Structure 1
């Protein structure tokens, strides 16, 4: 019997890449992202059958074309991990860059919806499936200068709850993982490539790693069919809230 199929968005780095590495033992994988070269490199190192799809989740037409264009035997996706997302900028609301706002709403909210919309018809037809949305502590705990990023992750939280209510009668599980501080490319993207500034975010304590979150995702995904681990907030020990982090001098 062939392994079930998992689709992972944002698989070219960080949590998505780590998740692909951990799930390869259990699933055939469809790995998605904007950077085709990174997808191909990851594909070559995964010990399972892999399809790569290169698209930007903001592009509705590209999302549907890529997923609808999968071979028939790959369309019945059992597990969807909506991981693609990012933060752009850290500014007071009156100083915010509208292009940053658009990017966060388009990727974190609309991109998640587009991918889900493309995958769900097969899950509903099969009366089974599992969606794991990657949210954030920012979706439950607003912090200064986080404004629109916070709003986008609050939307992910609301969408996840709404999905669970709408889909449970179809045998589809919906889970959300809300990480705190994870040392990935996240802060480097937020600070426009300023690595020095990004590195300071993680100084003085041990942050979570991408593998920590991937391990949580794997645990949720492999739970028995009658068990839905619906909502997980995972923080480094040094972090209590979005803004309370115990850092050593």
Structure 2
């Protein structure tokens, strides 16, 4: 398929796995993230398979987002697929003990960052009268768990934005859908616990969590359906997980 996808948060986890899978299937990619060296490594690994362009910027900075998109060369100017994957959790505190800087980081990245990049890409899709947006949400956007407060709020916002985008862009023929994963073994918990790898590793002990490749496979499935098929909202969890608070550690 002669298509181009832009993937945010592509330096690790789900974003990186999606970039590699897309490349395997001939989808040209624009990979975005703050860690430029990692982006260069991915570009080097995939350059022989598809066309790869890197954009290094902080998605929290609206001016940096729009400036980066405006630098895209002609070969990458038509974006067919947008994967809104960038997102983070910071801290795991009850609301009265929450850190305001953590709150700002989650809302700025998970909500405002998604809006900034979407705002920059959607006009291109409207002009082309086609496009597909996949928003990476979370089971935290479907239910709230203890000490999840602001992170859950940010992912509930993604859930609402996914629905709002789908309604507003329907008249342009642009497909919009969300993939909402449960427990996926990535750098997520390490970031949440601010570099405490030992604490982060305990999150995934005693059961088999989802892998980034599992979600990448679902994303690829969603974007390769026929035009008349849109996967609007999908929740996926490891078999051991029944909800945000119920995980069978014996599986």
Query: 2: distance between equivalents of 1:35 and 1:126?
Result: 31
Unaligned runs of 5+ in 2: none
Unaligned runs of 5+ in 1: none
Give the TM-score, by structure 1 length: 0.98
| Number of residue pairs the alignment of both structures matches | 248
Match of 1:92 in 2: 94
Match of 2:31 in 1: 31
Give the TM-score, by structure 2 length: 0.97
Question: 1:163 offset after TM fit, Å?
Answer: 0.2
Question: 1:12 offset after TM fit, Å?
Answer: 0.2
**SS of residue paired to 1:45:** helix
Query: 2: distance between equivalents of 1:125 and 1:171?
Result: 11
Query: 2: distance between equivalents of 1:26 and 1:136?
Result: 28
Match of 1:103 in 2: 105
Question: 1:158 offset after TM fit, Å?
Answer: 0.1
In the TM superposition, what whole-angstrom CA distance separates every residue of 1:57-78 from its partner, at most 9, and x where no partner exists?
0010000000011113312100
**SS of residue paired to 2:5:** strand
Residue 3 (1) aligns with residue 5 (2): no
Structure 1 residue runs of 4 or more that deviate by more than 3 Å after TM superposition:
none
Question: 1:168 offset after TM fit, Å?
Answer: 1.0
In the TM superposition, what whole-angstrom CA distance separates every residue of 1:194-229 from its partner, at most 9, and x where no partner exists?
011000000110000000000000000111111101
Q: 1:246 aligns with which of 242, 245, 248?
A: 248
Query: 2: distance between equivalents of 1:160 and 1:75?
Result: 24
Query: 1: distance between equivalents of 2:44 and 2:134?
Result: 25
Question: 1:26 offset after TM fit, Å?
Answer: 2.9
Question: 1:27 offset after TM fit, Å?
Answer: 1.0
Alignment of structure 1 residues 23-102 onto 2, 5 Å: 23-24=22-23, 25-46=25-46, 47-102=49-104
In the TM superposition, what whole-angstrom CA distance separates every residue of 1:153-195 from its partner, at most 9, and x where no partner exists?
0000000000000001101000100000000000000000001
**SS of residue paired to 2:89:** coil
Question: 1:126 offset after TM fit, Å?
Answer: 1.0
Query: 2: distance between equivalents of 1:182 and 1:26?
Result: 26
Query: 2: distance between equivalents of 1:8 and 1:217?
Result: 11
Match of 1:195 in 2: 197
Query: 1: distance between equivalents of 2:228 and 2:75?
Result: 26
Match of 2:223 in 1: 221
Residue 21 (1) aligns with residue 23 (2): no
In the TM superposition, what whole-angstrom CA distance separates every residue of 1:21-76 from its partner, at most 9, and x where no partner exists?
00112311000000000000000111210000000100100000000111133121
In the TM superposition, what whole-angstrom CA distance separates every residue of 1:92-145 from its partner, at most 9, and x where no partner exists?
000000000000000000000000000011100111000000000000010000
Match of 2:138 in 1: 136
Query: 2: distance between equivalents of 1:15 and 1:74?
Result: 22
Query: 2: distance between equivalents of 1:226 and 1:73?
Result: 27
